[in-house]
Structure 1
């Protein structure tokens, strides 16, 4: 962390954390914290967050921080902040603002506990704020996945225990691989740049034909129609006559067994296929109803692709490793680490990451949303 305080003294994180309730086993990057207030009895941000059971974070929407569309939020930075709030066992209030200047102003005024920004060092220090890398200096993980390496967490006071616990959490996440896995899932190059022209052409041509069915079934099952469209594009490029070598067919590529279970008599009928796909996706979401969003979406997508029994078996293995089987980062990590030896895992990783990319594209491209 950097501070504009002239009284700042450089301390290692370990000595800081000895005076806070948060314990980790890893030393963080150097942190500038004034000695005089590390054990101050005055009310601090950390105590306020814990006492009020709420962590308020502000950020600017971009590809490295958060994708936000109405109540639909996900993103590398957002997931990292959400995981930190969970580690404190508090609720997250996540606010998006138009620019970095507004985010920094809110922190300076005490309207947010911290900001997640790509603001320059000069911008941060001009407001006498403090910051540290949102990846504990793991810039390689961000760069290779097309994310902004200048992503930082900004606090009002460097000497507040909240800053120390946050820095500790970030560096622990770097050590245990969470940073790298999150960056991998939110890889901005999951879909190659050369593919987007064809994707845009396909969507512009075919979306108008099926949008009404997507919206109608989304409303029936209380789903996001953009997600259904993204699934449909990943499955068949929105081509109702599609057939795979394994026998799944139709716009939503349903197996014969799944189609029958969903009440679909003709898988090649796009209207029936979309209805069946929506019903099945809703069923998968219901199966993971104990998992909060956005993780629930990703679990449901993997189950849609591999089958829920396969996901159940992986969750059992994750649990046997002493990890939380209901956290997306752990499921993704398992699939990603074992994909070289299992084609189904490789397919599942590609499946969910590409659908995420299509979803963001559909939601943010005006001529697609307004079709």
Structure 2
């Protein structure tokens, strides 16, 4: 029996602390029940982390910024790991308190000190063991989903004690997410290879050449509408490569590629004027964010971007189709999955998927390479 348990634990990349004898895994792999003598629990706190989470209505997760954990876009957090933890917190019916820290050592220490429920980490397993923490795969061993999308497959969840129900519920959640395809969909949206690797050199040259010319305008309009200027810059690059005289076959033009009707509605008299175009684009994007204000960030931003690309009416049609399938039309992963699944039959869907995922990729690149250094508070 111990041999079988060992094999299953390795499959889930589960590391048991010396104090725990084993985990009895259900046949489906969706639950873990600790099998322990009483003395194995005596060294732990009387109140478990799980009880703390439920009693305080708050799940505290700590992590370091990385392509497969979390990014801060100025208005909200986003990322594969962050979205996964959002869904986990929702499954517990508690709020998510997600903290970004400077390095993995700090993240692991916060868990060891009982100041965080768990760490979402790419730290080497040896580093986790040194803190006497338990860990398991954040994807229930679904490493292919991450690797195929250019993400680090070694992402783990570290907890203070493998016997704590927080480990049981988190592992059950991640295995269910693997089974229902949620992990595959999240990894697909956060695909790190959405932009061809060889294209980044040209993109960076373009940004270095053109960004300084328009950065002040992006920052001014972002401040006016309480937006992140990196988002506007990413939109501008996707729309026109930051070229103010751009024009499409359908007649949209300017740095932010506004239609004639949208430009008029936003008070833009000259779409080729970069300052006016950025002002109009920011105003329109802000109005779209307001239109979806019932949807939580960061999902709201993805909805607004799709609406910017294909129009709010087209997005409303998609939401109705998602709802007709029995899925929540106000959860981004459901809308993204619908667009992705039907993009071969509808070129506009394919364009919308490319539009929002590329802007996300440009946003992360600009934030990393063209932002002022920031101080991260623990």
Give the alignment's TM-score, normalised by structure 2: 0.89
Distance in 1 between the 2:26 and 2:113 partners? 26
Aligned to 1:28: 30
Distance in 2 between the 1:302 and 1:203 partners? 23
Aligned to 2:22: 9
Q: How far apart are 1:69 and its partner, in Å?
A: 5.6
Aligned to 1:120: 124
Distance in 1 between the 2:41 and 2:323 partners? 39
Alignment of 1:206 onto 2:210 = yes
Q: How far apart are 1:6 and its partner, in Å?
A: 5.1
Which of 136, 150, 169 in structure 1 is aligned with 2:140? 136
Do the aligned partners of residues 319 and 36 (structure 1) sit closer, same or farther apart at CA in structure 2, a change above 3 Å counting?
Answer: farther
CA displacement, residues 29-78 of structure 1 (integer Å, 9 cap, x when unaligned): 8x583334699995322221111111111112211111136554211111
Residues 58 and 95 of structure 1 are in contact (CA less than 8 Å); yes or no, is this contact kept in structure 2? yes
Which of 278, 282, 287 in structure 2 is aligned with 1:274? 278
Q: How far apart are 1:9 and its partner, in Å?
A: 2.0
Do the aligned partners of residues 164 and 269 (structure 1) sit closer, same or farther apart at CA in structure 2, a change above 3 Å counting?
Answer: same
Aligned to 1:330: 334
Aligned length: 357
CA displacement, residues 157-198 of structure 1 (integer Å, 9 cap, x when unaligned): 111111111111111111111101111111111111111111
Aligned to 1:149: 153
CA displacement, residues 251-279 of structure 1 (integer Å, 9 cap, x when unaligned): 11111111111111221121211111111
CA displacement, residues 207-250 of structure 1 (integer Å, 9 cap, x when unaligned): 12212221221122111111111101100011111111111111
Which of 82, 89, 95 in structure 1 is aligned with 2:86? 82
Aligned to 2:172: 168
Do the aligned partners of residues 57 and 13 (structure 1) sit closer, same or farther apart at CA in structure 2, a change above 3 Å counting?
Answer: farther
Unaligned runs of 5+ in 2: 1-13, 374-378
Distance in 1 between the 2:20 and 2:276 partners? 69
Which of 229, 232, 243 in structure 2 is aligned with 1:239? 243
Give the alignment's TM-score, normalised by structure 1: 0.91
Which of 309, 316, 330 in structure 1 is aligned with 2:313? 309
Distance in 2 between the 1:66 and 1:110 partners? 22
Unaligned runs of 5+ in 1: 15-25
CA displacement, residues 311-352 of structure 1 (integer Å, 9 cap, x when unaligned): 111111111222111111111111111111111111111101
Alignment of 1:44 onto 2:44 = no
